[in-house]
Structure 1
Amino acid sequence: MRIVISEFMDEAAVERLRARHEVLYDPALADEAQRLHAIAGEADALIVRNRTQVRGDLVAALARCRIVGRLGVGLDNIDVAACEARGIRVAPATGANALSVAEYVIGTAMLLLRGVYLSTEQVAAGTWPRAALSNGRELNGKTLGLVGFGSIGQLTARLARALGMQVVAYDAMLAADAPAFSASGVQPMALEPLLAAADVVSLHLPLVASTRGLMHAERIAAMKPGAVLVNTSRGGIVDEAGLARALREGRLGGAALDVFDTEPLPAQEHFAGCPNLVLTPHVAGVTRESNERVSDVIATLVLEALH
């Protein structure tokens, strides 16, 4: 049987697959849709990350495919219903990159609240901006507001509470008495009060019709003055231009965006010169360790599906 891998995967997991099946491993395929479509008909399994668009003509070309393995958890690049209608199982690596995302959230929240870590050039040049950088804030005692309280949100809450944060959470899919809240020591809260109360707001949502544009300019304006926003979930949830304006106007204390409405992100004038802004290229869930875990999980699921 033949396995096609269109984006990067841990080599040890690729070798596990090669030991049992023919494998075409070419991370460039994600950007070569025509070539991918041409070979899709020979694939018994397809393994992707977030850039390969498994929909439309590509799904139609998967004539004998049994499984699409997703090296991650988000499924907005995969037409799950169309795959299932053709008898193709869609298998995400649920939970395998949760720790990487949770650590990213906590790490960037600390960086943004403290606000001192971009002074290297000034200090090295002989400037001594000690007075200007002496008003940073500690994480301990602050309130973390989680918008979305699935497995990643719950793990982020545990890390935050271990550092002395208070944690509140909003999840449209969970009742206020859901065991997830009490088990994590997290207070459930409606979205608007959460935004007004949280010193750090972290988004953990899928991109669906009800979440697209959820953090529009008015909601960003309703956040606690000086709060910071972290988005590791999906682009399209945050109004990027509205966020940039809030940073420039000093209404927000900082922001970290790992995901964008268009990826790769083209040059954006509205981000130029924004204070206390961290932009990363969709890597919150990608570390050496998480890549090993995610790849191993998907290799196992693919091998099970092919036997």
Structure 2
Amino acid sequence: MLVLIADKFPASGREVLGRLGEVVYRPELSAEQLPAALAETKADILVVRSTVVSETALAASPPLSLVVRAGAGTNTIDTAAASRRGIFVANCPGKNAIAVAELTMGLILALDRRIVDATLELRHGTWNKSKYGKARGLKGQTLGLVGFGMIAREVAVRARAFGLKLLTCAHHPIAPELLEAHGVVQVADLGALLDASDIVSVHVPYSKANHHLIGADQIARMRPGATLIHTSRGGVVDDKALAEAVRSGRLRAGLDVFEGEPAGGQADFKNIAGDVGDIYATPHIGASTEQAESAISDEVVRIIESFVARGIVHHAVNLNERVARYSLVVRHLDRVGVLAGILMALREERVNVQGMSNTIFAGGEAACATITFEQAPSDECLQRLRDHEAILAVELRAART
């Protein structure tokens, strides 16, 4: 097994992976250089952070079977192409949640107290207490969380300590006990959240459905004087519309992500924070703490260890979530050829297997196979299986609708 690591990754994690197989560490690779590196190394597993993984890259190494995103978002990986090639794509959800939540609160506090502007004036020798000695204060304000995943929940924990009232909206009902535990009220939709919030903080992944989720219409709906915090992914917010709203004096904003942001660690980047004073911004560093880096490294190692040892991929993001219509449960003696015979019988019926697991009982005498599919085999096929000398029981189950 060869693991190609195409982004920065802690030495401790590389050392553990090195015990599983060969590790090639190439953190300097760009998206354009990645296909050649994959072709050269013939990597079985690829680990990336922000590097774009294109269909060309995925096709460059025939043995490639797993791509691990050392972070949460997978929008930089062509998951559709990976699925067509039978390549697993996995991520590390929640491992950087605290780091992003801390930056979110930092941006909220910095904007309220105008910390950046005051610091810059002091660095230039200007004492301006009369200007910066005014702030609204956070206590009693309403913070609206767009999305309620792990990052938003960590923000809620910290926001409560500052006396903020908390709202959230999501595409699905959130468990009442989860809302109660975090002191959050779920509102009907995004519009209701924008209407009621003094501060709006965005915590949803980027997707085609979420492109410009906070667009010109949504920005116009926010309260005059409100603040927008964006630490999720570039493209969820319409940067141009936001810049216009801030420039007009209607809103303030704190951003960690941008549309069209550079993929590398250092680059020239003309952005909306450059000429808009009421936008505070950081260069996509939300997840960049030592604590988050260590947690993500440990999770990447766990994913790869499980895949190598047992073929199980934790947090796979490109699997078919469709529930099979039927499952066949076969208890059988643990002998060579029994499973092959079952699969051959299904093949003769032209039944396409969608999933399969086989569990061995203590002592190694018997096992239980569960096979799922869309089309039910005939009664004759099931009877042939029951008549097999090494098969103990056969049960066909239909999925509940």
Per the normalisation by structure 2, the TM-score is 0.71
Determine helix, strand or coil for the equivalent of 1:63: coil
1:281 paired residue number = 283
| Consecutive unaligned residues in structure 1, runs of 5 or more | none
Residue 70 of structure 1 pairs with residue 69 of structure 2: yes
Q: How far, CA to CA, are the matches of 1:28 and 1:209 in structure 2?
A: 29
Assess, with a 3 A threshold, how the Cα gap between structure 1 residues 101 and 61 changes in structure 2: closer, same or farther.
same
Q: CA deviation at 1:121?
A: 4.1
Q: Which residue of 1 aligns with 2:302?
A: 300
Aligned to 1:255: 253
> Given the superposition, is the C-alpha separation of residues 34 and 124 from structure 1 closer, same or farther in structure 2, using an over 3 Å criterion?
closer
The answer on whether the counterparts of 1:66 and 1:306 sit within 8 Å (CA) in structure 2 is no
The answer for the alignment partner of 2:40 in structure 1 is 39
Assess if the C-alpha contact under 8 Å between 1:29 and 1:35 holds in 2: no
Q: Does 1:11 align with 2:25?
A: no
SS in structure 1 opposite 2:131?
A: coil
Identity of aligned residues (%): 36
Letter in 2 for 1:245: E
Amino acid in structure 1 at the alignment position of 2:234: G
> In the alignment, residue 37 of structure 2 is paired with which amino acid?
L
CA distance in 2, matches of 1:278, 1:58: 36
Corresponding residue for residue 182 of structure 1: 180
1:52 is matched with 52
Paired residue secondary structure (1:181)? helix
**Larger radius of gyration, structure 1 or 2?**
2
CA distance in 2, matches of 1:168, 1:134: 29
Per the TM alignment, residue 117 of structure 1 is displaced from its structure 2 partner at its CA by: 3.6
Q: Structure 1: how far apart are the matches of 2:272 and 2:104?
A: 23
Contact 2:35/2:57 (CA < 8 Å) preserved in 1?
no
> Which residue identity is paired with 1:286?
S
Q: Secondary structure at the match of 1:304?
A: helix
C-alpha deviation, 1:270, in angstroms: 4.5
SS at match of 2:28: helix
Aligned length: 303
Quote the residue 1:226 is aligned against. Answer: 225
2:47 alignment partner AA: I
Superposition RMSD in Å:
2.0
Give the letter aligned to residue 260 of structure 2.
Answer: T
What does 1:142-181 align with in structure 2 at a 5 Å threshold? 142-172=141-171, 174-175=172-173, 178-181=176-179
Give me the whole-angstrom Cα distance separating, in 2, the residues matched to 1:123 and 1:231: 27
Over 3 Å counting, the alpha-carbon distance change for 1:140 and 1:260 in structure 2 is same
Q: Distance in 1 between the 2:122 and 2:138 partners?
A: 24
Which residue pairs with 1:204 in the alignment? 203
SS in 2 for 1:300: helix
Amino acid at match of 1:208: S
Task: Find the residue that maps to 2:154 and give its secondary structure.
Answer: helix
SS of aligned partner of 1:144: strand
2:270 maps to 1:268: yes
1:231 Cα deviation (Å)? 1.0
Tell me the distance in 1 between the aligned counterparts of 2:261 and 2:124: 36
Are the aligned partners of 1:7 and 1:30 in contact in 2 as well (CA < 8 Å)?
no
Q: Which amino acid aligns with 2:23?
A: V
More strand by share: 2
SS in 2 for 1:29: coil
Within 2, Cα distance between the matches of 1:283 and 1:160?
20
Question: C-alpha displacement at 1:181, in angstroms?
Answer: 2.2
Secondary structure at 2:63's aligned position in 1? coil
Whose RCO is larger (CA < 8 A, sep 6+)? 1
